[in-house]
Amino acid sequence: MTSESQGLSRGMHLGGSTRGEIVQPIMELRNLNVYYGDFHAVRDISLDVGANQITAFIGPSGCGKSTVLRCLNRTNDLVPSARVTGGIDYRGHDLYGPSVDPIEVRRRVGMVFQKPNPFPKSIFDNIAYGPRVTGMKLNKSETEDLVEHALSKAGLWSEVKDKLDQSGFALSGGQQQRLCIARAIATSPDILLMDEPCASLDPIATSLIEDLMLELVNDYTVVIVTHNMQQAARVSDRTAFFSAKIDDAGQRFGHLVEMDQTSKIFTNPSDSRTEDYISGRFG
């Protein structure tokens, strides 16, 4: 199946009601709170991420959606002052449990960033880096197979197969982003997080990445943060709408307004704030 027909067939489910219902949650956030020092940035987030679904986080700037996303693979830990309360259950494990190794979490929950960030290495080494550092013992031909597999999955193989030894920087922005997706896939993650992956790309590159997401969701679970509401509507099964509020002490914080099937969020949201945001009345 080509990525295009894949996208169409999934899109056709939109009319039906099954798309976006959680069959099996893979991550359950329970009253997640994020602090940066004394600043209580994100408050009481509870939501489920369904396995093999695309979950979209939308909302105005500063509503905490990227912060929540970074909690899902514990990259928020890398900010020295960051602290989390509440829990994230990942396949029966508390993601923030005392015996959890954040490195191990990041090997299972991959991430693609807003700005394509290839390593200053060859295309081949960009892909092979993850398997090497995560201790996958591969010989030369196994590595080559894995690089081809990952690049094919990311729809980049035919474009780069003759220049694998060129720098990752030699590619265009959209190709670089697909390289980063291929890089994340190479370590066979369980979940793929994408933080505004198309924010710096043109519409054609964006549409390629969207097709790719629809393809990837057959094998992986995808969570995407996006400012582009059409994108959320096009690709996601479920959408979480975040917003920012100001508390009594004058602190601005992010919270979850509602989460539902994407078709419902975009046609008949339960909360009037969601409708205002989606119809462009605020944010």
Partner 1 sequence: MSVATNWSIEGKNHEKNFKSIIFLGVLWLSLFVAFLFLIILLVTTAMNGWGRYDMRLFTSYNNTTPADAGARAAILGSLFVVSVTALMAIPVGIAAAVYLEEFADRSKWYNKVIELNIQNLAAVPAILYGMLTLGILTILGLKNKNVVIGGSLALALLILPVVILTTREALRAVPQEIRDGSLALGATEVQTVTKQTLPAAIPGIATGTILAVSRAIGEAAPLLLLGALVFITYDPNGLLAGFTTMPIQIFSWTSAAQEEFKQVAAATSMLLLAILLSMNGVAIFIRNKFAKRW
The binding site for partner 1 (CB under 8 A) comprises: 73, 75, 78, 80, 103-104, 106-108, 110-111, 113, 115, 117-120, 129-130, 133-134, 169, 180, 183-184, 187
Sequence-distant (6+) residues with CB within 8 A of 162 are none
Q: Which of 273, 278, 279 is nearest to 258 (CA)?
A: 273
Q: Which of 109/257 has CB closer to partner 1?
A: 109
Q: Which of 171/257 has CB closer to partner 1?
A: 171
Asked whether 146 and 128 are in contact (CB, 8 A), the reply is yes
Q: Which of 115/252 has CB closer to partner 1?
A: 115
Packed helices 203-216 and 173-185: angle between N→C axes, nearest 10 degrees: 20
Q: Which of 134/207 has CB closer to partner 1?
A: 134
In angstroms, give the least distance from the CB of 221 to partner 1: 16
Give CA separation, 144 vs 169, 175, 196, in Å: 20, 19, 30
Three-point CA angle 71, 73, 77, nearest 5°: 60
Three-point CA angle 33, 38, 41, nearest 5°: 40
In angstroms, give the least distance from the CB of 181 to partner 1: 12
Give the whole-angstrom CA distance, residue 272 versus residue 277: 9
In angstroms, give the least distance from the CB of 62 to partner 1: 20
List strands edge to edge, sheet with 252-261: 93-94, 82-90, 25-36, 39-50, 252-261, 238-246, 54-58, 221-225, 191-195, 109-112
In angstroms, give the least distance from the CB of 223 to partner 1: 13
Q: Which of 224/233 has CB closer to partner 1?
A: 224
Q: Which of 56/127 has CB closer to partner 1?
A: 127
Q: Which of 64/118 has CB closer to partner 1?
A: 118
In angstroms, give the least distance from the CB of 159 to partner 1: 20
In angstroms, give the least distance from the CB of 247 to partner 1: 26
Q: 3-state class of 274 per DSSP?
A: helix
Asked whether 237 and 19 are in contact (CB, 8 A), the reply is yes
Residue given tokens 């519409």 in the structure block: 203
In angstroms, give the least distance from the CB of 248 to partner 1: 29
Asked whether 124 and 147 are in contact (CB, 8 A), the reply is yes
Asked whether 241 and 257 are in contact (CB, 8 A), the reply is yes
